[in-house]
Structures are given as C-alpha cells and as structure tokens.
Amino acid sequence: MSSSTASAFRFASPLPSSSGVSRRRRSGTVSVRCGIGDLIGGDLVKLDLGRWLDDVEKHKALAIYPPHEGGYEGRYLNRLRYQGYRFLDMSARGLGDPETMLTKIYPVCPAHVGKQPIARWYFPPEVDFRLAMLPPDAKGLVLWIIEAKVLSKAELQFLALLPSLRPKVRVIAECGNWRKFIWKPLKEISGLVPLEE
C-alpha cells in the first residue's frame, strides 16, 4: 500500500461513533474502545433496570425517550408491574386539559347527528377513579402517557407535579425518541428545576 493510500485511512483523533465507540490514533495505528453492550447487543444486556426502579421511586415522574422501533418499553413496564404497580395507559392526543380529566369531574358532550337532543355526561376523574379501584396489595398507579411530545410545557409541568398531589401515582411520559432507551426527570424537561449537567 502506498503512503498516499495509507494516509487516506487515518482517522481524526478522537472520532466518536453512534454506539459510543471511540477511535484514537497513536503513531499510525487505530485503537477502538467499546463496552460490553457494543459487543453483545443492546437487546440482550440491560444493566440499567435497577437504576430505572430507583429513579421512578426517587423522581416519581419521568420523561422517557424509547427507540423508534419500539418494544423496549415493555421491559421497563414489566419491571414496574413486578414491583406491584397497576397501570393507566393514555394517549396525549385528545387528552384535553390533563388537570381536569385526571383530577376533576369533567363533562363530555357527544356529537349529535341532528334530531337527538344535545346531551352532556359527567365522568369521574380518571386518576381518582383508578386509585379507588386499586386492590389492597397494589403498590400504586403508574400513569403511562404515550405521545407526550405534543403536550405543552404547562401540561408537562402539571404531570410532573401530579405525584405530589396524589402520592400513590407515578407518571411516565413518552416525550420523544432516541437511539437507546433513556429517561430524565419530568421536572427537568418541563422546566420546573434547572437541567442537570
């Protein structure tokens, strides 16, 4: 190999890759550092489930960022289910005002087709209704909200404060996507506390 060809294969120092692998050039050679997750695969090794449970108990409201292909959420959901939590799954699209729907009696006006009278039905607050139905051995209720990226900052702030209003409630909000499953406290995402470095 000529010297001009060999220089074409040299990397800048350091070159981070998408999987956390870094390459460093030392006197013409390239060394690669990687973790066990890069060798085995992200699906097989999940060493963060203990940290997940600790963060759910510590922060009580988390913003999660699962990968686009999905499927990873079930691993974390099942770990909470094994701890004794029950679940209320909701979509943020069409949720309306979260404070009214989750903690207050709210009216629903169904669409009428013309000759029916205009009716208004009242529904109980979703969170309080589910808390009243919890079995005695349940540890609490997890409010799992998908597509929470469409919620405003004020709505996310209410969801972050909901566990302080209802102590047996934990909130998990899917606020976007990332290459691997990550989570952050919802109070940081909604701007209630400054972001941690």
pLDDT tens digits, residue range 49-83? 889 999 999 999 999 999 888 788 888 999 999 99
**Which pLDDT score, from 0 to 100, does residue 72 have?**
82
Confidence band for 28, pLDDT divided at 50, 70 and 90: low
Q: Which residue has the tokens 């759910």?
A: 56
For residue 30, pLDDT over 70 is answered with no
Confidence band for 48, pLDDT divided at 50, 70 and 90: confident
CA distances from 78 to 2, 44, 145 (A): 57, 16, 16
**Which pLDDT score, from 0 to 100, does residue 52 have?**
93
- Segment 19-41 mean pLDDT: 57
**b vs e for 140-176, b when ≥16 Cβ sit within 10 Å of the residue's Cβ?**
bbbbbbbbbeebeeebbbbbbbbbeebeebbbbbbbe
**Which pLDDT score, from 0 to 100, does residue 49 have?**
86
* pTM greater than the 0.85 cutoff: no
| Percent of residues, the chain, with pLDDT higher than 90 | 54
- Segment 109-116 mean pLDDT: 79
CATH architecture of the domain 49-190 equals 3-Layer(aba) Sandwich (3.40)
Domain ranges of the chain: 3-40, 49-190
127 secondary structure, DSSP code: H
